[in-house]
Amino acid sequence: MSKSHGYRGKLSKSDIPVVCGQCHGPGDTPWRSRYGLTNVADSLMAGAHGEALRVSETGPQCVSCHGVHDILPVSDPKAPVHPLHVAQTCAKCHSNAKYMRDFDPRLPVDQYEKYLTSEHGKRNAAGDPQPATCVSCHSNHLVLKVKDPRSPVYATHVPGTCSNCHSNTKYMAQYRIPTDQYDKYKRSRHGVALLEHSDLNAPACNSCHGNHGAIPPGSAAIVAICGNCHQSNAELFEKSPHKDVFAKRNLPGCVVCHSNHLIESPTDALVGFSPTGPCAKCHRNDATDRSAPEILRLSAVLDSLHGGQAEAEQLLDHAEQLGMDVSDVRYDLKGAHEALVQSRVQVHSFRVAELAEVARPGIAVVSVARKSAQEAIHEYYFRRKGLVVSTLIVTVMAFLLFLKIREIEREEKKE
């Protein structure tokens, strides 16, 4: 107990990581490599917990999770950091509203309660140590804030973090869960927006499944979940004829037409009877299906707007290539695009009259733009013909003048 040999009596909490770091800090010795304990103290201090500890001595440090004299390896079922206990250990602080208020009052304190309702939490509580716990997503010693771009739960990293388990075929086989979700998500409209374009507003796994209360949404909840972002679409669907039909058949709303993980950019081909279109899953294009004429009319309205817009743009491109100024007409044509976007939303009402009403202004704009482009093209060729005729007349006149001059010159020579 000699202080000259490094003995310390009662340690302050802020000193604990320093003391633990004497063995569990930087450096690589055979026993550290064997137990995988290199530099964990520094990792603690570099994360959110270390930041909290620098703010207050009551912040979390090594013994908060591992204990003091009764430290056990993670693999020991009695250890507070064993997979079956780690969520409760984290909850000692993170479910304490008074304690958390001193560090970040914005942080929720119901994560553990939500975790217990999740598929992960239910299996964990039943004695299965394999489902995800807090450290599976947040890490253990280097716990970083959600908004830290280095964090495994930062928005652009969430799909990859979930994929650590959910793309492992051997690991997921025991739960009979497919492992292609991440591959599909990466190719989806959502995945491209988040992972390739870094659009932090794009949904990741937790946007639909939840984070702490992660659980696959039930069929009845799909529309509400998608409606968090696609509010207008959801409101129209709730009033549509499909709402009650889908509910009776327990069909998962939006997923029926748009899929779940592999959500592609919607096109007008989704409405109609194309072999790969969703309508053909339930409907038949014949006299036995009373909805078939309605589906065809919905498709026709979208085609008239989309096809008309494409035709008008081609005509305007041609007019511009001829050198005609159609910039004002092209600007006005933007109104058709806006009407097309609104029409694609309105189609979720599945009522032709309502769709036609929304599409009508756009169709009118397309008609005007097409006519203006045709007039510009006609004017160009009219001018070209006029130029040819004028040039011919001038040439003839010049030739006649030349002949007259020659005639005058000959008469002068005779005199």
Reported as a single tens digit per residue, the pLDDT across 65-106 is 999 999 999 999 999 999 999 999 999 999 999 999 999 999
CB 49 within 8 A of CB 59: yes
Per-residue pLDDT tens listing for the chain (415 residues):
787 777 777 888 888 888 888 888 776 666 566 666 667 888 999 999 999 999 888 899 999 999 999 999 999 999 999 999 999 999 999 999 999 999 999 999 999 999 999 999 999 999 999 999 999 999 999 999 999 999 999 999 999 999 999 999 999 999 999 999 999 999 999 999 999 999 999 999 999 999 999 888 888 889 999 999 999 999 999 999 999 999 999 999 999 999 999 999 888 989 999 888 899 989 999 999 999 999 999 999 999 999 999 999 999 999 999 999 999 999 999 999 999 999 999 999 999 999 999 999 999 999 999 999 999 999 999 888 888 888 888 998 998 898 888 888 887 777 6
Contacts of 227 (CB under 8 A, 6+ apart): 233, 234, 235
pLDDT of amino acid 413: 75
d(CA 224, CA 231): 9
The 3-class secondary structure across the chain, one letter per residue, is: CCHHHCCCCCCCHHHHHHHHHHHHCCCCCHHHHHHCCCCHHHHHHHCHHHHHHHHCCCCCCHHHHHCCCCCCCCCCCCCCCCCCCHHHHHHHHHCCHHHHHCCCCCCCCCHHHHHHHCHHHHHHHCCCCCCCCHHHHHCCCCCCCCCCCCCCCCHHHHHHHHHHHHCCHHHHHCCCCCCCHHHHHHHCHHHHHHHHCCCCCCCCHHHHHCCCCCCCCCHHHHHHHHCCCCHHHHHHHHCCCHHHHHHHHCCCCHHHHHCCCCCCCCCHHHCCCCCCCCHHHHCCCCCCCCCHHHHHHHHHHHHHHHHHHHHHHHHHHHHHHCCCCCHHHHHHCHHHHHHHHHHHHHHHHCCHHHHHHHHHHHHHHHHHHHHHHHHHHHHHHHHHHHHHHHHHHHHHHHHHHHHHHHHHHHHHHHC
For residue 229, give both structure tokens: 């972002």
Side-chain-side CA neighbours of 363 within 13 Å: the count stands at 13
Find, among 133, 118, 40, 151, the residue nearest to 79 by Cα. 133
pLDDT of amino acid 29: 60
Contacts of 352 (CB under 8 A, 6+ apart): 294, 297, 298, 301
CA distance from start to end of the chain: 145
Longest dimension (CA), the chain: 145
Find, among 47, 54, 40, the residue nearest to 12 by Cα. 54
Reported as a single tens digit per residue, the pLDDT across 165-181 is 999 999 999 999 999 99
Reported as a single tens digit per residue, the pLDDT across 337-367 is 999 999 999 999 999 999 999 999 999 999 9
CB atoms within 10 A of CB 308: 19
